[in-house]
Amino acid sequence: MTTNTIQPRRILVTGGCGYVGSALLPHLLRLGHHVRAIDLILYSDAGVKSLKASPEFEQWQNRFELVVGDLRHEETMREALRGCDTVIHLAAISNDPTGELDEALTRQVNFDAIGMMLALAKEAGVTRFINASSSSVFGIKNVPDVTEELEAEPLTFYSKYKALSEWLVVAAASREFCAVNIRPATICGYSPRQRFDLTVNKLTADAVRKGVITVHGGQQRRPNVGMSDAINLYAILTQTDPALINGQTFNFGFENHTVLAIAQLIQAELKDLNVSIKVTDTNDHRDYHISSAKLIKYLGYKPVSSIAMEVANLRRALDGGQFPDIDASEHYNMKCMKLARDNGTYRFLSRPPSHV
């Protein structure tokens, strides 16, 4: 996408300080959009710090705002949506283990809040809503091509409320309100707010810093998609003809390798480091794969990255001294949620939204 063909939008990015959000914000600003982010900053403010430290920030700052707040809070959301024409909804309790900690919390954030947000977005004059769902909604399917025509069979609270929220989004679609669900595979690669609780990122960090990759089992497939593709697709969707996407749901992931194959790919990409692979037993034989043929066929989407490219990008960041402690809790959502729970913040999060 070149900047001169882009219609500048006024975009609210929920979860803008998360792993994807922190890479997406500078991308959208570089493309000329006005960007407001809302986030409760549950894990780390590294993304927004990095944005503000960017040499380009001076030219972006009058197009950027950050709201630190809870998307379950009606007045906060009403304010956050004011003046926006587009929403990219990323905020979530964002993986299976954290989703299991407290079903009520997961439901509130990953489902209830979306219903409220869709209503408030329409009221505010938003015309496009892009919802980050997840390919995990499928559960485990023993068919060769896991396409969007198959039923969601979620296995966890996280994927259950992601699946249910997709229905809200589809139901909200209308001629005036273009609403679309994207189901990313596991995203891999560098972000200023780095997650190492995702397979490729964890294996890459261990390879670079410890010289050893530990693979549990290894024969389970895990679909992945690069961060460069994630931010590229979200930006494209702000521009796409609504007729192509309105009321639609798209799988999004192009590489369905086994975990062992991913480890070998990383080993090959980092061959100068002589990384060894240790295979251990596992009881977790969940095997996932998805087909993104619909995205390629209907939107003509062409992937811009690969696992290998994302591994190389992440290695550059690690070699450059970023993320000095790859085991720090800020890189693992589950560790953060457990800490927050111990500190009492978690109880605040579990409360129903209050109204002012």
Q: Candidates 9, 11, 43, 270: give the one binding ligand NAD (CB under 6 A).
A: 43
Of 88-96, 117-125, 137-145, 272-280, the window that binds ligand NAD (rule: CB under 6 A) is 88-96
Site for ligand NAD in 136-165 (CB under 6 A): none
Q: Which is nearer to ligand NAD, 8 or 353 (CB)?
A: 353
Of 89-97, 140-148, 208-216, 297-305, the window that binds ligand NAD (rule: CB under 6 A) is 89-97
The type of residue at 346 is Y
Q: How far is the CB of 39 from ligand NAD (least distance, A)?
A: 5
The type of residue at 203 is L
Q: Candidates 50, 86, 94, 292: give the one binding ligand NAD (CB under 6 A).
A: 94
Interface with ligand NAD, residue 237, by CB under 6 A: no
Of 36-44, 55-63, 265-273, 302-310, the window that binds ligand NAD (rule: CB under 6 A) is 36-44
**Residue 318 has which token pair?**
């690690």
Please identify the residue of the shown chain whose CB is closest to the bound ligand NAD. 18
Q: Which is nearer to ligand NAD, 119 or 211 (CB)?
A: 119
Pair 83, 10: CB distance under 8 Å: yes
Q: How far is the CB of 105 from ligand NAD (least distance, A)?
A: 9
Interface with ligand NAD, residue 70, by CB under 6 A: yes
Interface with ligand NAD, residue 18, by CB under 6 A: yes
Q: Which is nearer to ligand NAD, 184 or 303 (CB)?
A: 184
Distance CA 149, CA 345 (A): 40
Q: Which is nearer to ligand NAD, 186 or 246 (CB)?
A: 186
Q: Which is nearer to ligand NAD, 140 or 212 (CB)?
A: 140
Distance CA 169, CA 137 (A): 15
Interface with ligand NAD, residue 267, by CB under 6 A: no
Interface with ligand NAD, residue 186, by CB under 6 A: yes
Distance CA 132, CA 95 (A): 12
Q: Which is nearer to ligand NAD, 108 or 241 (CB)?
A: 108
Interface with ligand NAD, residue 187, by CB under 6 A: yes
3-state secondary structure string across the chain: CCHHHCCCCEEEEECCCCHHHHHHHHHHHHCCCEEEEEECCCCCCHHHHHHHHCCCHHHHHHHEEEEECCCCCHHHHHHHHCCCCEEEECCCCCCHHHHHHCHHHHHHHHHHHHHHHHHHHHHCCCCEEEEECCHHHHCCCCCCCCCCCCCCCCCCHHHHHHHHHHHHHHHHCECCEEEEEEEECEEECCCCCCCCCCHHHHHHHHHHHHCEEEEECCCCEEEEEEHHHHHHHHHHHCCCCHHHHCCEEEEECCEEEEHHHHHHHHHHHCHHHCCEEEEECCCCCCCCCCCCHHHHHHHCCCCCCCHHHHHHHHHHHHHCCCCCCCCCHHHCHHHHHHHHHHHCHHHHHHCCCCCC
Interface with ligand NAD, residue 17, by CB under 6 A: yes
Q: Candidates 9, 33, 72, 160: give the one binding ligand NAD (CB under 6 A).
A: 72
Q: How far is the CB of 310 from ligand NAD (least distance, A)?
A: 11
Interface with ligand NAD, residue 15, by CB under 6 A: yes
Interface with ligand NAD, residue 19, by CB under 6 A: yes
Query: Which residues of this protein are in contact with ligand NAD, per CB under 6 A?
Result: 15, 17-21, 38-43, 70-72, 90-92, 94, 109, 132, 134, 184, 186-187, 195, 198, 333
